Structure 1
Amino acid sequence: MSGIHAKRECGGNCIIALITSDFAVYEKVVAELKSREMPFITLRVGEHIPANVDVVITTESEAGKIAWEGNRLVIYDDPVATVNQAILAEQKTEPSGAMVVGVDPGRRPGVAVLSGDMVIAVHQVSPTEVEPLVRRIVHDYRPASVIIRIGNGARLVTTQIINSLLHAGFKVELVDETGTTPHIGRDVHTSTVRDIIAAINIARIKGVPVGHEREVEPSKGEIRVIQEASRSRSEGRATIPRYLARQVARGELTIDEAIAMHKGAIKNGNGQNGHNGHDP
């Protein structure tokens, strides 16, 4: 993609420099850079900055003391966010680069973060954690723009995630996810890999913009599945009634909240044993 990757003046040996006298910042950033296996050097304020340094990390109080011809300066925030920003700055030409987040919906959605063609982070979270995760990603990387592309499978989960993202003000595209889930060989023993790869593929497909929140009206079968899930989640002690299952389907409650409400109603004599799943 044009305009995404920088033309390197430092050739293929570009590195990040951490320049600070703050020992606490030094320890945290060095540990994070090492965990990402990023090439870096550490310098004191005033030391010569080598020509192959492409990004400098420093503190706000020390930034004005750094004499450097480069323009990719990252001010320390927290270790993860700071290193994320440094990596992103090292990978793109200008701070106006767009970011795409792909979401493979399901019981545990896969989430992939792309800058240009490069995958810079992957996650797997619950459906209710997708929107907070996207907010954290935006905080950590601070892209000029972000688009969330979500697959059109798992109707209820997809709608819940879309509504939460739109409500938070994000741009969302709905993607036809046909063919995005790869074949997983017998030697791969986790579905997480499949979900993550599907999320990466979804992120790379232009979808249809979603302009407004959607109504969620679960079918009887979908409500039944949620009721069965509540029984399994509570180890057979409670099956939430249909009206609570409907609220879970609409994203108004989590299944744990619905179970707690149902147990509370039974304890107070306002509900009934949930084993048959009928509305009280």
Structure 2
Amino acid sequence: MRTTSRRPLVIALYEPRWFMAVLSILRKRNIAFTVFEDENKLPLYSVLYTDYQYFVEKASRRSDILVIYDPMHRCIELERAILATRFKEEYDEIVFGVDPGSRPSVVVLGDEGLLDYQALYSVKDVVEYIADKTQCYPSKKIVVRIGGGFNGWKIALALKKKLKVRTEVVDEWETTPKNTRLDDILLSSKYLVNLAKHRYRDLYAALKIALRRGIEVD
């Protein structure tokens, strides 16, 4: 039975470093969660994400609780827990948008929701970041869209050598944000409202690139 549009997320993690990593991910994405206290205090129809068998056994006393057990601390299992709060098992589409400037920036969209963003330092960093993140998101389809400016084709060709994902090069026209453009204002309020100002410009460009179709790189 579904009582709300989302199930509550509860985390119960034993390993301290993974606990801190999960906190960082959830806070970065503004995902609401609570920390496990007692099985009787779990909200109705919660999703419990845990790495410890003790918490699995505790939660098993509640038939309404969905447990995602992740003793290996895999990012894809955390994402499955997040998806389960929305009654989903996978994304229809994951899109990476890359602003390929002298210091590249990447955003990750899942069904047009912002999942992650990162400022990087080199072509190698971009390729490794995308290769790692493709392992984290259950999805039917993955697309990488890269701006055609400085380093763009270099990143695209390096990525195609490493990963078998659809890669597109996108026109970068009007990807620099302007406060006077309605399109920029609307996109900013939807995706980037919580970003620090010093990161905004490059990540905005990566976002606009992610939302545009480009020319596929063979």
TM, length-normalised to structure 2: 0.71
**Is 1:38 the equivalent of 2:34?**
no
- Structure 1 residue 172: deviation in Å? 0.4
Give the alignment of 1:4-153 within 5 angstroms.
Answer: 9-11=2-4, 14-19=7-12, 22=14, 24=16, 27-28=19-20, 31-32=23-24, 35-36=27-28, 37-43=30-36, 47=40, 49-53=42-46, 55-59=47-51, 61=53, 65=57, 66-67=59-60, 68-69=63-64, 73=68, 75-78=70-73, 83-91=78-86, 93-126=88-121, 127-153=123-149
Contact 1:104 1:196 in 2 (8 A): yes
Q: Which position in structure 2 is the counterpart of 1:202?
A: 209
Q: Which position in structure 2 is the counterpart of 1:256?
A: none
Match of 2:156 among 145, 159, 162: 162
- Structure 1 residue 64: deviation in Å? 6.2
Aligned residues: 197
**Which runs of 5 or more structure 2 residues have no equivalent in the other structure?**
181-195
- Structure 1 residue 100: deviation in Å? 0.6
Contact 2:91 2:138 in 1 (8 A): no
What is the alpha-carbon distance in structure 1 between the residues aligned to residue 35 and residue 124 of structure 2? 40
Percent identity over paired residues: 22
What is the alpha-carbon distance in structure 1 between the residues aligned to residue 104 and residue 114 of structure 2? 17
Structure 1 61/39 Cα, relative in aligned 2: closer, same or farther at 3 Å? same
What is the alpha-carbon distance in structure 1 between the residues aligned to residue 94 and residue 67 of structure 2? 18
What is the alpha-carbon distance in structure 1 between the residues aligned to residue 96 and residue 148 of structure 2? 15
- Structure 1 residue 47: deviation in Å? 4.3
What is the alpha-carbon distance in structure 1 between the residues aligned to residue 25 and residue 109 of structure 2? 19
- Structure 1 residue 76: deviation in Å? 4.7
What is the alpha-carbon distance in structure 2 between the residues aligned to residue 202 and residue 26 of structure 1? 32
What is the alpha-carbon distance in structure 1 between the residues aligned to residue 197 and residue 18 of structure 2? 38
- Structure 1 residue 183: deviation in Å? 1.9
Letter in 2 for 1:145: K
**Larger RCO (CA within 8 A; separation ≥ 6):** 2
Q: Which position in structure 2 is the counterpart of 1:255?
A: none
What is the alpha-carbon distance in structure 1 between the residues aligned to residue 200 and residue 4 of structure 2? 34
Structure 1 83/183 Cα, relative in aligned 2: closer, same or farther at 3 Å? same
What is the alpha-carbon distance in structure 2 between the residues aligned to residue 26 and residue 47 of structure 1? 25
**Which runs of 5 or more structure 1 residues have no equivalent in the other structure?**
1-7, 212-280
What is the alpha-carbon distance in structure 2 between the residues aligned to residue 92 and residue 200 of structure 1? 26
Aligned to 1:129, the other structure's residue is in SS state: helix
